[in-house]
Structure 1
Amino acid sequence: MMAPRIVVAGSANMDLVGIAERLPLPGETVLGDDFVMMPGGKGANQAIAAARAGGDAVFLGAIGSDSFGVTLNARLNAAGVDTAHVRTVYGASGVAVIMVDRGAENSILVAPGANRTFSDLTAAEEQVIAGGDVLLCQLEIPIDTVVAACKAARAGGTRTILNAAPARELPADLLANVDLLVVNEVEARTIAGQTITGSETPDMAALLALVPRVVLTLGGAGSRYAERDGRDETVPAFVVEATDTTAAGDAFTAALAVAWGEGRDLMEAVRWANAAGAACVRKLGASSALPTRAEIDELYQGL
């Protein structure tokens, strides 16, 4: 079986990661345990994760002319991602400042840099999207670019997955071109227009009125898959010892894209993606923690 072609249109950042016993409160300074610098960004992470999970991954995005940009491009290439259409612009690459505590929780600030310039898709970029099996997008690049990419995918018969992170309201012309929405609970509530207090669950019916299929990620509780025909099931998480949750969502979403591109039933695809997310949290970092297909299969087959 040929590897599915996964086209990822998104961000690339250099991640500056500090590790401490706990996250600082506003106005507080906390003495850290360690610091690491590694390539990241939701788009680049998902492209690398898709390649490691067995996909034929292509990355569309923008990096800066600085040393971070050189490193980002090198990491993508080293993972086997096609970078032939990556744009290099004069100035700074995107940067993410990440704080991680000993309980594996994190707090992230993103300075988009070159990612802000990724707009006005070229005809060549639209052709790459139309030639894919699955287009995977997130929301760390200009929203107009995400809309244009999803429209190009729909026109070319390419299935679309939108990982709607970070949380924001989505325009109707984007939602109309999304085949599968992947969100966490905060993102789901934002898109559904819910004002949430306490432990109220996201309104899946409201989401399914906007898109035909939804995967709701629930962290340590697993994930939930629902579609308009009435199918609605929760998939338990794989139990592992967590070190860092930073890129778990990216590992999950990319593995889901690969499995769907391979033609698997979406419930099976979600289970396999759960294994990818669990395999990721066992390691520190973003792109460096993304699991290989063998690591995903090892957890998945241990069901």
Structure 2
Amino acid sequence: MGIVVIGSVFVDIKGYPFNTYIPKGRNAGRVIQVHGGVSRNVAEDIANLELRPTFVSLVDDTGMGWEVIQKLKNHKVNTDYIWSVKDGMGTWLAIFDNDGDVIGSISKRPCLDPIGQILDENEEAIFKDADSIIIELDMEKDIVKKVFKAAQKYHKDVYAFVSNMSIAVERRQMIQDTACFVCNQQEAGIFFSDDYDTLNEEEMLKTLVQNIQGANIPSMVVTMGDKGAVYASLDGQSGICPAIKVEVKDTTGAGDAFFAGVATGLTYGKTLKEACMIGTRLASSVIATSESVCPRFLPSEFGIKTNKE
């Protein structure tokens, strides 16, 4: 079955200026429309490691929805548990500056309720032989509860990420049940009710080590942009993983690729440090290629062996 990814699909509409971006002005540029969504990106990132994840999700009952499924199939993602429903996909509209960073965005989330029915009807088929589970923690609460219940039943590790940190704050107990939780520096501040924006890597690491003890989170990784990432776990693993310096073309999807690398590494027996190094390499490849997902790699390049090898 491979790694099971559960979450939403988005259509990303991205605008890039030809010249210096002028706020509140008319900017000539290019506008592209691509398949997106953190969960969809993560599933494709894992597939681009020549692994074969299963994606549980929804798409629109339109030509665009069909295109999403066909692209995932071409990347060898198992799409058996993707349903086509009316308005099944969300939309993300974003404007980028000349450095490839998002300077403004609007997001419309889809209703994911039908995913609960997918899980009810296919629980054993989805979870029994999964290598691990990746979940979008800010999905509808009933869906998240079903996933954690099934993970406990079939003894599977859960790796979690969020798009809305305010929801994660309300679900602290669920995060305590994850094998690893990944977020960025600003989100970590929201989660721990503090301001971490000015902390350097050493200060962030010290803070993280202290905070996961009090919050009883098994392991956590905090990304810090071009400063890299810091990681800590209750079993004593901790450290700083430096970023790889590359020419920035588009930062979209870099965080998704990092998370995919961390979850994949941990699923297949890597240490937290090694998993963060895999995530860092995938993220840097996305930033340098102007794509929302990482290019193809072989598992052997990261020393990954699946449970079937």
Q: TM-score, normalised by structure 1?
A: 0.86
> Which residue of the partner structure matches residue 301 of structure 1?
none
Tell me the alpha carbon deviations over residues 45-80 of structure 1, each in whole angstroms, 9 at most, x when there is no partner: 000001102322000111121232122112211211
Q: Is the 2:188–2:196 contact (alpha carbons within 8 Å) kept by the matching residues of 1?
A: no
Aligned equivalents of 1:119, 1:109: Cα separation in 2: 26
> Which residue of the partner structure matches residue 162 of structure 1?
160
> Which residue of the partner structure matches residue 292 of structure 1?
296
Residue 124 of structure 2 is aligned to residue 113 of structure 1? no
Tell me the alpha carbon deviations over residues 143-183 of structure 1, each in whole angstroms, 9 at most, x when there is no partner: 43223213321321111111123322242441232110011
Aligned equivalents of 2:232, 2:271: Cα separation in 1: 13
> Which residue of the partner structure matches residue 44 of structure 1?
40
Residue 227 to residue 91, structure 1, CA distance change in 2 (3 Å)? closer
1:232 positional shift: 1.8
> Which residue of the partner structure matches residue 233 of structure 1?
239
Q: Is the 2:123–2:150 contact (alpha carbons within 8 Å) kept by the matching residues of 1?
A: no
1:283 positional shift: 1.9
Query: Which structure has the higher relative contact order (CA within 8 Å, separation 6+)?
Result: 1
Residue 211 of structure 2 is aligned to residue 206 of structure 1? yes
> Which residue of the partner structure matches residue 133 of structure 2?
135
Tell me the alpha carbon deviations over residues 245-266 of structure 1, each in whole angstroms, 9 at most, x when there is no partner: 1000111111222222221222
Residue 186 to residue 148, structure 1, CA distance change in 2 (3 Å)? farther
> Which residue of the partner structure matches residue 307 of structure 2?
none
Unmatched tracts of structure 2, length 5 or more: 303-309
Alignment partner for residue 255 of structure 2, among 233, 249, 260? 249
Map 1:1-303 to 2 at 5 A: 5-20=2-17, 21=19, 25=23, 28-91=24-87, 93-106=89-102, 107-115=104-112, 117-120=114-117, 121-125=119-123, 127-139=125-137, 141-168=139-166, 169-194=169-194, 196=195, 199-200=198-199, 203-204=207-208, 205-208=210-213, 209-286=215-292, 289-294=293-298, 297=301
Q: Is the 1:151–1:177 contact (alpha carbons within 8 Å) kept by the matching residues of 2?
A: no
User: Which stretch of structure 1 is more off in the superposition, 41-50 or 201-210?
Assistant: 201-210
Unmatched tracts of structure 1, length 5 or more: 299-303
Aligned equivalents of 1:133, 1:22: Cα separation in 2: 47
Alignment-mate amino acid for residue 291 of structure 1: P
Aligned equivalents of 1:54, 1:40: Cα separation in 2: 20
Residue 124 to residue 173, structure 1, CA distance change in 2 (3 Å)? farther
The count of corresponding residues between Structure 1 and Structure 2 is 290
Aligned equivalents of 2:300, 2:244: Cα separation in 1: 11
Alignment-mate amino acid for residue 207 of structure 1: I
Tell me the alpha carbon deviations over residues 224-273 of structure 1, each in whole angstroms, 9 at most, x when there is no partner: 11011333200111111110010001111112222222212221111111
Q: Secondary structure at the match of 1:282?
A: helix
